Structure 1
């Protein structure tokens, strides 16, 4: 058996910290619910995370969410989409924008 410590193998560079990684609020498809909290995705935590990650690029956030909206529409199939625009796009507008 090989007695080398794992950190000496090529590509194994995981750093161990005292805190476990925080769960990521991502969609569970095709239902489009949050994998962490079970709310409709994007849940409030996902929205906050996306806005924080792209705070300097609100247009980029809107474009990203548009791609999610297209995937959502594909998964839902034909029929009414209800509040899909508000759910995926409307909240990406910068605060104070008309």
Structure 2
């Protein structure tokens, strides 16, 4: 991965300043975890929980869409 990682407490990308996971981070994550999508789901789930705790003023549904709407596990 490059510098498209979240800044803690704000959960903005340190590289581009957009909500994390930003578009570039999503592309990188999909590539990095392409052979282990369940591990990506676990990583995103863990990050989601941390973000939800740190950003309690943001509705959970909004954060859920931000973290998971772009990612699908295939059977």
Structure-2-length-normalised TM-score? 0.84
Number of aligned pairs?
74
Following the alignment from structure 2 to structure 1, what is the Cα–Cα distance between the partners of residues 71 and 7? 21
Following the alignment from structure 2 to structure 1, what is the Cα–Cα distance between the partners of residues 71 and 37? 7
Q: Which has the higher helix share?
A: 2
In our comparison, the structure showing a higher alpha carbon Rg is 1
Q: Which residue of 2 aligns with 1:24?
A: 3
Gap runs ≥5 in structure 2: none
Alignment partner of 1:84 out of 49, 54, 63: 63
After TM superposition, the runs of 4+ consecutive aligned structure 1 residues lying more than 2 A away are 77-82
Structure-1-length-normalised TM-score? 0.66
Gap runs ≥5 in structure 1: 1-21
Q: How big is the shift at 1:81?
A: 2.6
| Aligned-CA RMSD value | 1.9
Following the alignment from structure 2 to structure 1, what is the Cα–Cα distance between the partners of residues 2 and 36? 24
The structure whose RCO (Cα within 8 Å, separation 6+) is larger is 2
Q: Which residue of 2 aligns with 1:49?
A: 28
